[in-house]
Chain A
Amino acid sequence: MGLLDLFRREASPRALRREPLFDDDFQRKLEMLALVSRRVFAGRLRAERRSKKKGSGIEFADHRDYVAGDDFRSVDWNVYQRFGKLLVRLYEEEEDLSIYLIVDCSTSMGFGEHKKFDQARKLCAALAYVGLANLDRVTVVGVNDGVVSRMPTTRGKGRIFKVFEFLSRLEPRGSTDLAAALKSFVAQHKRRGLAVLFSDLYDPAGFEAGINILRFNKFEPYVVELCDPAEARPALKGDVRIYDCETGEERELTITDGMLEKMASAVNEYRASIERFCAQKQVPYFAADVNTPFDELVLRVFRRGGFLR
């Protein structure tokens, strides 16, 4: 390190590593997760998702009075024989579930050696695989202050490699504006469905607006917050000039142990506020620690419910 380096800003979050993120080991774990998801939730949470519409499915739902123009084949002749009334059988119409996996690609996600970003991509890939395996329609979207990248909707387990390729190309850059990004997202995706948001929710404008946009547009939001414990207790001391890695906002501080305690409290309070908001709005929330293996986190997501029904 040269002398002049003493006076320079510390390097910004490093560029995305090109190490294989989804290696063979990762894919084996995905297979295991898919099997586990079927065994644990069998009979209770079928992967196929039925809509509230009544239609031409095979599961009986209800009867209604016959009206002119109905298909005679749907008349329940047994009921007519017993009650003398023409009733038509109604079946639950089966419908593909649309799963939208929204990955925050802002600079803050790459902070701390990309731990958050890598963990988010692994979780995203895992949930995408489970969704594809259950024949759901999976769409992956990268956002920061807008939609930066989008993988076309796909289905079927064999398409998982497209998902891997897409996620590998994502890089954390730009600032966070969830409201603008998700407004753009809902405008582009008319088909409603489950919207899983992978983000650290470090939005200067507030994380609430983004989640509300999903809610107000009939999406079913699911919030996965990426947490790096190192951010709650940074290795800093003395006089420093901190600056926001996304906005460049600066603060001059003399950091002491007491301040670090307060910093840890402030981070915990921020996370608690996210959890409170999600609970109030009945939005499933899940905190994903970057230091916890992704497969364990995925199982926790399954157990928590909301993703698979």
Chain B
Amino acid sequence: MTLAGLPLSQLLMLGGGAASVTVLLYILKLRRRAVPVPFARIWDAVFRDRQATELFSKLRRLLSLLLQLALLALLILALGDPRPKSALLNGRHIVVLVDGSASMKAIDVQPSRIEVAKAQVRKLVRGLGSADRALIVQMGSLPSPLSTMSSDATELDPAIDALTASDTRADLERGLSFAVDSLRGLPKAEVVVVSDGVLGTSSEIAKHVDLSAVSLEFLPVGKSGTNVALTEFSVRRYPLDKSRSEVMLEVTNTNERPVQVELTLLGDGAVIDVSRFALGPSERLPRYYQDLAGASRTLEAKIRMADGRGDDLPADDHAYALMPERHRARVLVISSGNTYLEAALLLDEYLDVVTIGPGKTIPSEHFDVAILDGVADALPDSVAAALYLNPPEAGTPLALGPTLNDFGFDTWDKKSPILRFLALADVQVSKGHALLPIASDRVLGASDQGPILVSGARAGHAFVALGFDPRNSDLVLRVAWPLFVLNTINAFVEEDTGYVSSFRTGEVWRVPVASSANSATVIDPRGVHHEVPVKEGRAIYLGEQAGFYKLVTGSGVDATNGEFAANLSDLDESRITPVTELALGNKRARPASIGAPGRKREAWVYLLAIVAALSVLEWITYHRRVTV
């Protein structure tokens, strides 16, 4: 026999206290009520008959006390929930996966799907048997356990209260994998998925997760799905005219009937455009806004039905974007004359270009970038970064390899912000040198004979080195040439041409940071601060909330602030029509059965309270002569 409830020590303490109270009540009960009478002598005739019943009356009261103490002992023992060990092991082990995705914010059921799901889970927990154990898991982009595997309502209830829906999609595969791992080796393993069924492609999940050892149950939530969503939202400045920008967005009607939609664009919080248009059934409508003016930093898009009503999922009716900040980069060109280079630099009006000849005194003011054309003059600290074109042996940050002839780019880093979208496959170079990078350097482009484009840093100063004179190639005749030059400058001044105007929630974000700090603080749209690590100049953060974020690095006067935006932008989540069945390949989830409340051990607590209340009631009624 094992006590599954309160331990023996607590039971003894509880029993002692309760027995003391009972005896006290008994003593008080024995105290007779004093009643005045006008003439006590008259009662003497009655008093004589009382003597015979006095002994029996005392015995009856003693029996009453013993009965109450016995009742109390049984109830205290019941609090301990004594049961055979075998019965304890035979309890169910349940992992409750509650969908915390954006679709659970839908308000087709009141007050929302997530609140209905919480109510359902509460019923489920109330219906657990005393030997059953449950683990509450919020299923977002990552599964988040909110409790331990427990049967204690005081632990499970707060976990249920903590369930929320975020602006992400739910990763069912990860959730199920977590559940299966949690239940490994436990008998009567069950997984209950509480969801609206908007879980992406679930057919592949069965192939990756072994559900053979667990019983899968499904508790559907939601009843309808009228929704119009902003499924894409992006903004960029024109690379060659950063005063102008263009916006691309996509509006999707997830319903099977046409709708009239009103779209509002807000720049820096002010309305800059309102348009109305019709969307056909299941139509995805991309819209472009070119030469958009009126916004310098933030951009928001809102949609609603043309008649003013909202849809069932407000979470995807609002999208956010931040435009890259504009910098006027200062560029120092050390060259004996290069028309192609000068032409490329003329394309960006936001460049302050200073040109000097080789060997001349370098101005003392700050330069974001120095372009060394065929030279390798020593650079002062006031120059932040350098682009070496066909560097000489002496003074170059990295060593030169063998001379190369008739070569080209055989491989290049297409993800590098410097080479992104550049077509380098058929660039022909007549003469150059291979570069010999060190371990920390990064090879951006290489021919089959060796690296010809390398980036790295020396003494805190970044550099990019091109192993040939562009004029000895047809690169200068291509569109790729000015893009290469401008991309390199932008990379040095943190104006990434691949600037992400908004991140997608539910993914790990790598946000560029300005300083070399090891950690940063992300302030989410709700104002909550999160300390996040910084690796390779980027803050790593898994965001689950759409809106504008702030990023703070450093502290005090060295603190630098940045901003970025995040959007749901997930068409699957916007399709909120609930499903009533969950099928994973051939495995079909059974409908979850919610037990009747009162089967849990807590029923004994209620019982104890009732018995205590009855006892007090009996005492009062007895003492007040109601029941005797």
* A interface, CB within 8 angstroms of B: 6-10, 12-13, 108, 111-112, 200, 202, 204, 228, 231, 234, 236-247, 249-254, 259, 262-263, 265-267, 269-270
Q: Give the docked Cα–Cα distance between A112 and B49 (Å).
A: 26
Q: Which residue of A lies closest to B57 (CB)?
A: A254
A202 near B38: Cβ-Cβ < 8 Å: yes
Residues of A with C-beta under 8 A to B622: 238
**B45 contacts the other chain (CB 8 A):** yes
Select which of B36, B41, B50, B623 is within 8 A of A253 by beta carbon: B50
* Cβ proximity bits B10-54 to A, threshold 8 Å, 1 near / 0 not: 000000000000000000100111111111111111110110010
Q: Give the docked Cα–Cα distance between A245 and B50 (Å).
A: 21
Residue among A7, A239, A265 with most chain B CB within 10 A = A239
A241 near B47: Cβ-Cβ < 8 Å: no
* B interface, CB within 8 angstroms of A: 28, 31-47, 49-50, 53, 57, 622-625, 628
B625 near A242: Cβ-Cβ < 8 Å: no
Residues of B with C-beta under 8 A to A270: 42
Q: Which residue of B lies closest to A9 (CB)?
A: B34
Shortest Cβ gap from B43 to chain A (Å): 6
Q: Which residue of A lies closest to B33 (CB)?
A: A240
Shortest Cβ gap from A205 to chain B (Å): 10
Residues of A with C-beta under 8 A to B50: 252-254, 259
A to B CB contacts below 8 Å, 13 in the list: A108-B39, A111-B38, A204-B41, A231-B38, A242-B35, A244-B39, A244-B41, A245-B36, A250-B40, A251-B40, A253-B47, A253-B50, A263-B42
A9 near B623: Cβ-Cβ < 8 Å: no
B36 near A10: Cβ-Cβ < 8 Å: yes
Q: Give the docked Cα–Cα distance between A254 and B41 (Å).
A: 17
Shortest Cβ gap from B41 to chain A (Å): 6
Q: Give the docked Cα–Cα distance between A233 and B488 (Å).
A: 111
Shortest Cβ gap from B165 to chain A (Å): 50
A9 near B36: Cβ-Cβ < 8 Å: yes
Residues of B with C-beta under 8 A to A246: 39
B43 near A108: Cβ-Cβ < 8 Å: no
Q: Give the docked Cα–Cα distance between A245 and B41 (Å).
A: 11
A253 near B37: Cβ-Cβ < 8 Å: no
Q: Is the interface of B mostly helix, strand, loop or mixed?
A: helix
B32 near A249: Cβ-Cβ < 8 Å: no
Q: Give the docked Cα–Cα distance between A240 and B42 (Å).
A: 16
Q: Give the docked Cα–Cα distance between A239 and B37 (Å).
A: 15
Residue among B36, B38, B46, B625 with most chain A CB within 10 A = B38
Q: Which residue of A lies closest to B41 (CB)?
A: A204
A237 near B41: Cβ-Cβ < 8 Å: no
B35 near A10: Cβ-Cβ < 8 Å: yes
A249 near B31: Cβ-Cβ < 8 Å: no
Q: Known: A12-B36, A245-B36. Contact between A267 and B42, CB under 8 A?
A: yes
Shortest Cβ gap from A231 to chain B (Å): 6
Q: Known: A108-B38, A237-B628, A238-B622. Contact between A263 and B31, CB under 8 A?
A: no
Residues of B with C-beta under 8 A to A8: 34
A266 near B46: Cβ-Cβ < 8 Å: yes
Q: Which residue of B lies closest to A204 (CB)?
A: B41
Given contacts A240-B32, A244-B36, A254-B57, 10 further A-B contacts (CB under 8 A): A9-B34, A12-B36, A238-B622, A238-B625, A241-B35, A250-B40, A251-B47, A253-B46, A253-B50, A262-B45
8 closest A-B pairs by beta carbon, nearest first, are: A244-B40, A9-B34, A202-B39, A238-B628, A238-B625, A111-B38, A241-B32, A237-B625
Q: Which residue of A lies closest to B47 (CB)?
A: A251
Q: Give the docked Cα–Cα distance between A245 and B36 (Å).
A: 5
Residues of A with C-beta under 8 A to B36: 9-10, 12-13, 111, 242-245
Q: Give the docked Cα–Cα distance between A305 and B419 (Å).
A: 137
Q: Give the docked Cα–Cα distance between A250 and B33 (Å).
A: 12
Q: Which residue of A lies closest to B628 (CB)?
A: A238
Residues of B with C-beta under 8 A to A245: 36-38
Shortest Cβ gap from A241 to chain B (Å): 4
Residues of A with C-beta under 8 A to B31: 7
Residues of B with C-beta under 8 A to A112: 38
Residues of B with C-beta under 8 A to A267: 42
A241 near B33: Cβ-Cβ < 8 Å: yes
Q: Which residue of B lies closest to A237 (CB)?
A: B625
Q: Which residue of B lies closest to A107 (CB)?
A: B38
Q: Known: A6-B623, A238-B622, A254-B50. Contact between A266 and B43, CB under 8 A?
A: yes
Residues of B with C-beta under 8 A to A254: 50, 53, 57
Shortest Cβ gap from B333 to chain A (Å): 96
Residues of A with C-beta under 8 A to B28: 6-7
A240 near B34: Cβ-Cβ < 8 Å: yes
A263 near B43: Cβ-Cβ < 8 Å: yes
Residues of B with C-beta under 8 A to A262: 45-46, 49
A242 near B57: Cβ-Cβ < 8 Å: no
B32 near A252: Cβ-Cβ < 8 Å: yes
Residues of B with C-beta under 8 A to A249: 40
Q: Give the docked Cα–Cα distance between A249 and B37 (Å).
A: 10
Shortest Cβ gap from B42 to chain A (Å): 5
Residues of A with C-beta under 8 A to B33: 6, 10, 238-241
B625 near A251: Cβ-Cβ < 8 Å: no
Residues of B with C-beta under 8 A to A252: 32, 50
B40 near A242: Cβ-Cβ < 8 Å: yes
Q: Give the docked Cα–Cα distance between A12 and B49 (Å).
A: 27
Q: Which residue of A lies closest to B31 (CB)?
A: A7
Residues of B with C-beta under 8 A to A259: 46, 49-50
Residues of A with C-beta under 8 A to B42: 263, 266-267, 270
Shortest Cβ gap from B32 to chain A (Å): 4
B35 near A240: Cβ-Cβ < 8 Å: yes
A10 near B38: Cβ-Cβ < 8 Å: no
Shortest Cβ gap from B65 to chain A (Å): 15
Q: Known: A236-B625, A237-B625. Contact between A253 and B43, CB under 8 A?
A: yes
Q: Which residue of B lies closest to A201 (CB)?
A: B39
Q: Give the docked Cα–Cα distance between A242 and B47 (Å).
A: 11
Q: Give the docked Cα–Cα distance between A202 and B49 (Å).
A: 22
Residues of A with C-beta under 8 A to B39: 108, 200, 202, 231, 244, 246
Q: Give the docked Cα–Cα distance between A291 and B45 (Å).
A: 26
Q: Give the docked Cα–Cα distance between A268 and B579 (Å).
A: 86
Q: Which residue of B lies closest to A266 (CB)?
A: B45
Residue among A231, A238, A243 with most chain B CB within 10 A = A238
